[in-house]
């Protein structure tokens, strides 16, 4: 394996190294088989490198100060633009075309409606205390969506809502341990309801063929 280079890898360590080199070499020219002309370029080059290092440090500091000045200047002009733009936006006499000519986006009262998305990866876990825990994936639904949890049993196979939450977990309490149940989750927002999720069951769940028509109120 080749020996490591004796020249320091860091620029700032080269001038001190060169100074030690030239000092010893100058004091021992004859013994080292050297002449003054051999050492002079090293000394001159070391001085030039140190000057360049100093200049680079000054330039770096100036660059950092320039960046800070640019950030401050940007903040000043952007704040001024926003203040004036808000004044224009709030003026009902200013037309959308005039706002567009200024380069600002006209305000609109229309809100983007996010359609609810069918929840995925529904999982149901039964506990011995009669609490069935249901979890699912938000599946891209925006916050504010309400998740409706429905359940059914073999004795009553019609899906019925048993809870509604904005999170992605629900505990169905006071259930009888050992009783098979299936759960599914629907997402609701702005009066719209998603397609139901795939069902997940506890104690084997309820077979799909157990589905019955919705009961009519008496």
Instruction: Choose one of 62, 84, 106: the last residue of a domain.
Output: 84
Residues 124 and 184 in one domain: yes
CATH of the domain at 168: 2.60.40.10
User: Is residue 218 a part of any domain in this protein?
Assistant: no
Domain with 18, as residue range(s), is 11-84
Query: What's the domain count of the chain?
Result: 2
pLDDT tens, the chain, 218 aa long:
445 689 999 999 999 999 999 999 999 999 999 999 999 999 999 999 999 999 999 999 999 999 999 999 999 999 999 999 999 988 989 998 998 899 988 766 656 678 999 999 999 999 999 999 999 999 999 888 999 999 999 999 999 999 999 999 999 999 999 999 999 999 999 889 999 999 999 999 898 765 544 433 33
Co-location of 137 and 203 in the same domain: yes
Is 107 part of any domain? no
Is the residue at 214 inside a domain?
Answer: no
C-alpha span between 95 and 100 (Å, rounded): 9
- Are residue 29 and residue 76 in the same domain, yes or no? yes
């Amino acid at each position: 394996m080749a020996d490591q280079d004796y020249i320091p890898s860091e620029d700032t360590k080269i001038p001190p190294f060169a100074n030690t080199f030239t000092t010893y070499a100058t004091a021992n020219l004859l013994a080292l088989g050297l002449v003054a002309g051999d050492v002079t370029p090293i000394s001159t080059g070391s001085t030039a490198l140190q000057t360049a290092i100093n200049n680079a440090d000054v330039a770096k500091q100036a660059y950092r100060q320039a960046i800070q000045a640019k950030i401050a200047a940007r903040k000043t002009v952007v704040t001024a633009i926003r203040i004036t733009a808000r004044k224009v936006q709030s003026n009902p006499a200013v037309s959308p075309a005039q706002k567009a000519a200024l380069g600002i986006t006209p305000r609109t009262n229309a809100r983007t409606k996010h359609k609810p998305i069918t929840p995925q990866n529904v999982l149901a876990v039964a506990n011995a205390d009669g609490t069935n825990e249901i979890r699912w994936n938000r599946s891209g639904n925006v916050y504010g969506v309400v998740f409706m949890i429905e359940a059914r049993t073999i004795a009553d196979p019609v899906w019925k809502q048993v809870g509604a939450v904005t999170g992605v977990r629900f505990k169905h309490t006071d259930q009888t341990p050992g009783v098979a149940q299936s759960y599914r989750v629907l997402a609701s927002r702005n009066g719209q309801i998603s397609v139901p999720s795939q069902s997940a069951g506890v104690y084997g769940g309820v077979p799909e063929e157990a589905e019955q028509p919705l009961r009519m109120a008496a």
